[in-house]
Amino acid sequence: MSFHRQMTGKDEIILRRAAQEVQQGQTINLGIGLPTMLPIFLPATIDVMFHAENGCLGMGKPVDNGTPDYPVIDAGGRACHLVSGAACFDSVLSFTIVRGGRLDLVILGAFEVAINGDLANWTIPGKSTPGMGGGMEVAQKAKRVMVLSHHLDKNGRAKLAEKCSLPLTAPGCVDTLITEQAVFRRQNGRLTLVSLHPDTTLEIATSPFDFKVPVAQKLETWRA
Amino acid sequence: MPHKIKNIAEAVTAYIRSGQSMMVGGFGRGGVPFSIIDYLADHPEQYKGLILYKNDANEPDLGIGRLLKNRQVKHLYTTHIGLNPAFIAQMNAGEIACTLTPQGIFAEKIRAGGAGIPAFLSDIGLHTSYAKGKEKMTLDGQNYILERAYHADVAIICADMVDQKGNCWWQGSNRNMCVAMGTACDHVIVEAKEIVDTGRLQPENIHLPGVFVSAVVRAEPRRHQQEAAA
């Protein structure tokens, strides 16, 4: 049993777009769920180190037919290879990396993201409380926080809200939000729509919002 | 110096009692002392009312998931319970108390407990509901949560190689919370996947020195591994 799921068409659009945001040489932490599939979409020329909370820097590809008993797993419980130059350590050192500000980028999933960059992804009180794990620390201390999420939740509500209704993981931390329809970047303290997927329009992408979403004057071309 | 190797029943009988606080190593499956936990779960009347500290709640019928299901635990201090929906239901029903703490703060509270530091300051979760009801302190004009150290009666952890003096070495990502937990308890029982002769481990490569360890027990082949072998 682990968190890893089958990829959908929407997931693939989000992951391909997110891969464009990764820069050479970065130290990156991937949240469980969708973000753990990002490495599949990175070009071979990009050389980055993936950090896993349970105590590795330099996580590599998943192990074929690996079991959860394999001696190297990612934070979602999947058996992984280590890349050349990887390091293994304990939880104390792992979070010294996190709280010491050594993560260039963290890529997370979300229950809700607010327009001011607030992130809620650790509890739906009374319903689902997976717990914060290392989420509060990576969200609060990474140099850049990117959230990958479907544009709408299962009930058809936009994941981007004017204000989070759920308890926060960290306030004002989200720098970039990528959905299958749009890219939002925090500009002047507010997540601003800066790019649209070619299959959608500004009207369609903004119609689920019951508040005004800032839109960049000149939209970026969608890269994937 | 006499060696520390015992069988599981001897070690558990010597160091574990109902109502004790107990730290349990592991993240996912790596570092989890499955054989010791299974012994406790197989004797539910003898070991109950436990206060557990563990990174995650395992899965419903695996590791501490068994102790939770048997209601041998009265309070779980943890960071993540997302793979154990049965426990989430128990927590929501108020059957077992659960305290969730950010993972690195959880690790640091344990480290502090082992290092003789009663508390430390942190800004993690300061502006979230996690901070509610927690003691705060101001230092150099900045607000912080006062995080108290964790200390427990006994730790059970699993290491990949252990010698007769209790020196421990871990492979890959199996170390996780085990090292800190091994320093923060009155007694430590190490479940060894492999017991090696003293002198075989390189001194520079020992992750937890035997000075912290009370007893070493041999890991039993896990049930599903036995199934795979059958």
Tens-place pLDDT, residues B163-189: 999 999 999 999 999 999 999 999 999
Q: Whole-angstrom Cα distance, residue B30 to residue B23?
A: 15
The mean pLDDT value for A98-103 works out to 98
The mean pLDDT value for B19-42 works out to 97
- The residue of chain A with its CA nearest to that of B174 is A71
Across A74-78, B32-36, B221-225, which has the greatest mean pLDDT? Answer: B32-36
Query: What would the pLDDT profile of A174-200 be if each residue is shown by its tens digit?
Result: 999 999 999 999 999 999 999 999 999
Q: Report the pLDDT value the prediction gives residue A1, as an integer from 0 to 100.
A: 41
- Asked if residue B226 has pLDDT above 50, the reply is yes
Confidence of residue A3 (pLDDT cuts 50, 70, 90): low
Beta carbons of B27 and A55 less than 8 Å apart: yes
Q: Tell me which of A73-77, A108-112, B111-115 is least confident.
A: A73-77
The beta-carbon neighbor of B124 closest among A92, A128, A140 is A140
Contacts of B27 in chain A (CB under 8 A): 53-55, 73, 75, 91
Instruction: Indicate the residue type of A29.
Output: N
Averaged pLDDT of chain A = 94
DSSP label at residue A38: G
A9-220 belongs to which CATH class? Answer: alpha beta
Q: Whole-angstrom Cα distance, residue A200 to residue B138?
A: 49
Written as six digits, the tokens of B119 are: 């508390």
Residue showing tokens 């689920």: A208
Q: Whole-angstrom Cα distance, residue B93 to residue A41?
A: 42
Name A116's Cβ contacts closer than 8 Å, sequence gap at least 6.
Answer: A171, A172, A189, A190, A191
Beta strands across the sheet bearing A56-62: A80-88, A56-62, A49-52, A27-30, A105-108, A145-148, A176-178, A182-187, A190-196, A215-220
Q: Report the pLDDT value the prediction gives residue B191, as an integer from 0 to 100.
A: 98
- Asked if residue A6 has pLDDT above 80, the reply is no
Residue showing tokens 């369609």: A204
Q: How far is B136 from chain A (nearest CA, A)?
A: 18
Beta strands in B66-141 (DSSP E): 73-78, 97-100, 119-122, 136-139
Instruction: Indicate the residue type of B154.
Output: V
Q: What percent of chain A has pLDDT over 90?
A: 84
- Asked if residue B223 has pLDDT above 80, the reply is no
The mean pLDDT value for A98-114 works out to 97
Give the DSSP H/E element, type plus range, for residue A176: strand A176-178
The mean pLDDT value for A20-49 works out to 94
Q: Whole-angstrom Cα distance, residue B78 to residue B110?
A: 12
Degrees (nearest 5) of the Cα angle A37, A38, A40? 80
Nearest to A99 by CA among A45, A61, A137, A66: A137
Averaged pLDDT of chain B = 95
Establish, for the pair of chains A and B, how many residue pairs have beta carbons separated by less than 8 Å. Answer: 151
**Which fold does the domain B8-118+151-229 belong to in CATH?**
Glutaconate Coenzyme A-transferase (3.40.1080)
Reply yes or no on whether A53 is catalytic: yes
- Asked if residue A41 has pLDDT above 60, the reply is yes
Q: Whole-angstrom Cα distance, residue A145 to residue A216?
A: 20
Q: Report the pLDDT value the prediction gives residue A64, as an integer from 0 to 100.
A: 87
- Asked if residue B224 has pLDDT above 70, the reply is no
- Asked if residue B20 has pLDDT above 90, the reply is yes
Nearest to B65 by CA among B48, B51, B83, B47: B83
Nearest to A179 by CA among A213, A212, A211, A210: A213
Q: Do B113 and B119 contact (CB within 8 A), yes or no?
A: no
Q: Report the pLDDT value the prediction gives residue A65, as an integer from 0 to 100.
A: 86
